[in-house]
Amino acid sequence: MIKSEQQTPATAYWTVGPEKGELRREDLPAPGPGEALVRALYSGISKGTELVVHNARVPECVAEQMAAPHQEGSFPSPVKFGYLSVGIVEEGPADWQGKTVFCLHPHQDRYIVPVGSLTAVPENVPARRAVLTGTVETAVNGLWEAGPRLGDRVAVLGAGLVGGMVAKLLGAFPLGRLQLIDVNPAKRAFADALGVEFSHPDDALPDCDIVIHCSASQEGLERSLQLVGDEGDVIEMSWYADRTVTLPLGEDFHARRLSIRASQVGVVARARRHRRTNADRLGLAVSLLSDPGFDVFLTGASAFGELPGVVQRLSEGTLDALCHVIEYPAPEDPSTEATR
């Protein structure tokens, strides 16, 4: 094991109040046995969940379950949150030294984690694209939950990051029909880039075997129940945080024997839980990113020092993004010192 005896300076992004974030400096100890020091190359902003944290909307009843794997602090704030980080192992066990890795870690330029928390990025997956690993993992889990079969008629409602990712993966399945549905007509170009048929909710085809809902809206979930066929499944992949959602569970919901199932990435979907671990799922996710077609999800980039302003612009809606990439300065870059 290669080990430094000196402390390493690091800078991390913290949510310090509703709609307020800042960069904070800390000193890292030398990595211990079985640990690695990672220098971040890129991180991705998981807009849906991270904006819930930014706006102090994590319900108290699920605060413990919503904690990120290497989170510090607690909700609502101050809290160090995030989970899409790619970097290089600078110190640690010899077989990890110099490897490009993905880690479910908050936005931070250097960090120490157990090597068991790291997923090696294959050589045919660019480091920037690898920030999508956590989102692909979410989509994989949703598909394990849904269990699409040969010839199925499937709709994905909500053409955001998760919905688009689900549709991208479903494009490789031998389905009878697949539609990506969104109220925004501009999403048609996104669907075209994914090679998936696009539809407005009013024009979407009914009698689906499976509808995967990703719009995080009450109207989208209502429309999902209308589009799914008798005895069909709606897979709910949206998280509404502290919002209340009402549904028409009278009408024909019972007569048609419809099902709504939640999908959440914190645990492996029940259909594969006895055969796959979280590490297996992450390994599968990063391997799928050898496909350059995933680059369509990377919709902008900013320097690490700009991160507090970027999160606020995403919250205000003045910056549009699927996955916005944060770029970390190289060690020799003089701007490194400005953020420490």
Q: Is residue 131 part of a domain?
A: no
What pLDDT digit, counting tens, does each position of 233-256 carry? 999 999 998 999 999 898 899 999
CB 326 within 8 A of CB 302: yes
Q: Mapping DSSP to helix (H, G, I), strand (E, B) and coil, where does residue 56 land? A: coil
pLDDT above 70 coverage of the chain, percent: 96
What pLDDT digit, counting tens, does each position of 96-146 carry? 999 999 999 999 999 999 999 999 999 999 999 999 999 999 999 999 999
- Count of beta carbons in the 10 Å neighbourhood of residue 260: 17
Domain that holds residue 69: 8-124+290-339
What pLDDT digit, counting tens, does each position of 7-41 carry? 899 999 999 999 999 999 999 999 999 999 999 99
Q: Is residue 319 part of a domain?
A: yes
What pLDDT digit, counting tens, does each position of 274-307 carry? 999 999 999 999 999 999 999 999 999 999 999 9
CB 86 within 8 A of CB 41: yes
- For residues 228 and 166, membership in a common domain is answered with yes
CB 225 within 8 A of CB 157: no
**Whether pLDDT at 332 is above 80:** no
Instruction: Determine the pLDDT at residue 209.
Output: 98
Strand order in the sheet with 259-262: 197-199, 177-181, 153-157, 208-213, 228-236, 259-262
Distance CA 102, CA 118 (A): 6
Instruction: Determine the pLDDT at residue 7.
Output: 86
Q: Is residue 223 part of a domain?
A: yes
- At 79, which CATH number? 3.90.180.10
**Whether pLDDT at 2 is above 70:** no
User: Which helix (H) or strand (E) segment is 221 a member of?
Assistant: helix 218-227
Instruction: Determine the pLDDT at residue 340.
Output: 35
Average pLDDT, the chain: 94
- For residues 148 and 49, membership in a common domain is answered with no
pLDDT band at 308 (very low <50, low <70, confident <90, very high): very high
Cα of 11 vs its chain's centroid, Å: 22
- Count of beta carbons in the 10 Å neighbourhood of residue 172: 10
- Count of beta carbons in the 10 Å neighbourhood of residue 2: 15
Instruction: Determine the pLDDT at residue 290.
Output: 98
Number of domains in the chain: 2
In angstroms, how far is the first alpha carbon of the chain from the final one?
A: 27
CB 303 within 8 A of CB 327: yes
- At 250, which CATH number? 3.40.50.720
Q: Is residue 194 part of a domain?
A: yes
- For residues 221 and 313, membership in a common domain is answered with no
**Whether pLDDT at 334 is above 60:** no
Q: Is residue 135 part of a domain?
A: no
Q: Is residue 81 part of a domain?
A: yes
Stated length of the chain: 340
pLDDT band at 333 (very low <50, low <70, confident <90, very high): low
Distance CA 142, CA 137 (A): 9
pLDDT above 90 coverage of the chain, percent: 90
Instruction: Determine the pLDDT at residue 65.
Output: 87
**Per DSSP, what are the bridge partners of residue 26?**
10
